[in-house]
Structure 1
Amino acid sequence: MTAIAKLIRIHSFQLDEKRRELKKLEDQAAKIEEALANLINQVEAEKKLSYESLEAQRDYPNFIQFAFEKRDQLNKDLTAARGLIETAREGVAEAFAELKKYEIVKQKYDNEIAEELDRREQMDLDEVALNNHRLRR
């Protein structure tokens, strides 16, 4: 395995790790968004219940205060998660660019080797043809 192939393998692994981390962060953000949606549904259900029951009306202000605090905390968590996601996306883009750079270098190297082999093969064929031409004279 050539040095460039080892570098490609290492950077490919690093890119995969960064993608996994990004996926994990996106999953966390999705869970927070789901918790926000559940909280909204819970508030609506509690609101309906408070219209129907005196006991629920009495507890509704405490519940709504708790719900607002929880909503604020979830929004803060979501904002932080989105910041981390953006940073992770930048990391993935950088890792991809680095990997691509090594892949391009390897491709150029492989092309140069192939061209050199083709050139040598053509030289051998030219020599054989020249010798055949000399022998026919």
Structure 2
Amino acid sequence: MKSRDTLLKLKRFQVDEKRRQVAQIETMIGEFERMATDLDREILQEQEKAGIHDVAHYAYPTYAKAAQGRRDNLMRSADELRGQLSDAQAALAEAFEELKKIEILEERDSARERVAEAARDQAEMDRIGLAAHEARAG
């Protein structure tokens, strides 16, 4: 019983850790996407300021080219994180299933213990009742 309590604590910790990992990856993806959106806005501003939207044009703004590179890197990183997110979500689901299995076993054991305790209590009450009945009859 003690080892199952320890196992339950371990599985709960693992589930919590997996949840934190999923949340952290989701936060990073959101942050990268926000930064990419900001860069898109800056790129557009630079293009408007220069009056040149053609990336191949010789006078295309240098800052806009650099910002596009950073934006592309951010989006690649976000895509890689989406793969990691999928893996982390699968690991979370697996850890959660393991936790549920152990919790179900614990609940079954507790139910068995309650039934056994109720049977012992009933047997004790029956013994007391029988002793009282014999004392009155005798």
Q: TM-score over 0.5 for the alignment?
A: yes
Report the counterpart of residue 54 of structure 1 in structure 2. none
Q: As a proportion of its length, which structure holds more helix? A: 1
Aligned pairs (5 A) from 1:3-82: 3-51=3-51, 59-82=59-82
Distance of 1:38 and 1:72 partners within structure 2: 12
Distance of 2:94 and 2:14 partners within structure 1: 11
TM (norm. structure 1) is 0.84
Q: RMSD between aligned alpha carbons? A: 2.1
> How many equivalent pairs are there?
132
Q: CA deviation at 1:90?
A: 0.7
Report the counterpart of residue 130 of structure 1 in structure 2. 130
Confirm or deny: 8 A CA contact 1:26 1:85 kept in the other structure.
Answer: yes
Distance of 1:79 and 1:111 partners within structure 2: 48
Confirm or deny: 8 A CA contact 1:29 1:82 kept in the other structure.
Answer: yes
Structure with higher RCO (Cα < 8 A, 6+ apart): 1
Distance of 1:59 and 1:81 partners within structure 2: 35
Residue 13 of structure 2 aligns to a residue whose secondary structure is: helix
Distance of 1:40 and 1:75 partners within structure 2: 11
Structure 2: which 5+ runs fail to align?
A: 52-56
Structure 1: which 5+ runs fail to align?
A: 52-56
Identity %: 29
Distance of 2:89 and 2:107 partners within structure 1: 26
Confirm or deny: 8 A CA contact 2:46 2:61 kept in the other structure.
Answer: no
Confirm or deny: 8 A CA contact 1:46 1:60 kept in the other structure.
Answer: no
Q: Aligned AA for 1:11?
A: K
